[in-house]
Amino acid sequence: MSVKSPVYSIIAMIWFLASSATMAADNASDKLAVFVQSVVTFQAKFEQTVLSAQGDIIEEARGQFLLERPGRFRWDYFEPYPQHIVADGERIWFYDVDLEQVTVKSQQEALTDTPATLLSGDMLPEEKYHVRDVPSDDGYQWVELVPKQAESSFQVVRFAFDDDGLKRMVMQDNFDQFTRLIFSDVIENDEIAQDTFIFTAPEGVDVVGDVVP
């Protein structure tokens, strides 16, 4: 998996970002459920690390994430390579700055059978995932989700909360690689400019994909 290409594994995870609204819940699974039903907008910086099955670092990246429910998000990579993933509610745009190429796909098709379906706001985690709180001695409360459908693109995803909200996210894919995200500078339920989720391909950039307007 590379931050130089569309990061579909990230799409499978980003919808679980939490906020202070979850702090009234008693455990991590309750906090996750509260977030799915209450958070409208979310902004945060992130640090991403991709690890091999043996725990070796494969890639590291940094950037910013913005979400507005229902259906819109922006995932901007700044380091080590600039890349932008923008969902406008109908399409998802993947812009690789170095390659000068944009790939566009139907958002509904791209998000089928992924945790991103929580974005619609009418589905609780338990509807498509086996959810359980898991013990830990690292000071965080962890919740684990395992897809009920065998053909899912990942095996398990775990989320770690503290008293301020979501702090970590770890996903294991079907190749036994791990993607770890650490969030900071979180802002939730604040207004986000509407043009944030409108993508216009820069002049001279190739646009390819299944859905090209």
Q: Which domain holds residue 159?
A: 8-209
In a domain, 20, yes or no: yes
Domain with 63 in it: what CATH number? 2.50.20.10
Q: List the Cα angle 88/89/95 in 5-degree steps.
A: 35
Q: Looking at per-residue confidence, does 34 or 43 come out higher?
A: 43
- The answer to whether position 2 is within a domain reads no
The reply to whether 182 falls in a domain is yes
Q: What is the pLDDT of residues 76-88, one digit of tens each?
A: 999 999 999 998 9
How many domains, in total, are found in the chain?
1
| Alpha-carbon span 160 to 209, nearest angstrom | 35
Question: Taking 90 as the threshold, does the pLDDT of residue 34 lie above it?
Answer: no
Asked whether residue 3 is domain-assigned, the answer is no
Length of the chain, in residues: 213
pLDDT tens column, 185-210 = 988 889 999 899 999 999 989 999 87
Q: Is the pLDDT of residue 131 over 50?
A: yes
Q: Which residues of 103-127 are buried (b: 16+ CB within 10 A; e: fewer)?
A: bbbebeebbeebbbebbeeeeebee
- pLDDT classification of 20: cutoffs 50, 70, 90: very low
Q: What is the C-alpha separation between 124 and 37, in angstroms, rounded?
A: 8
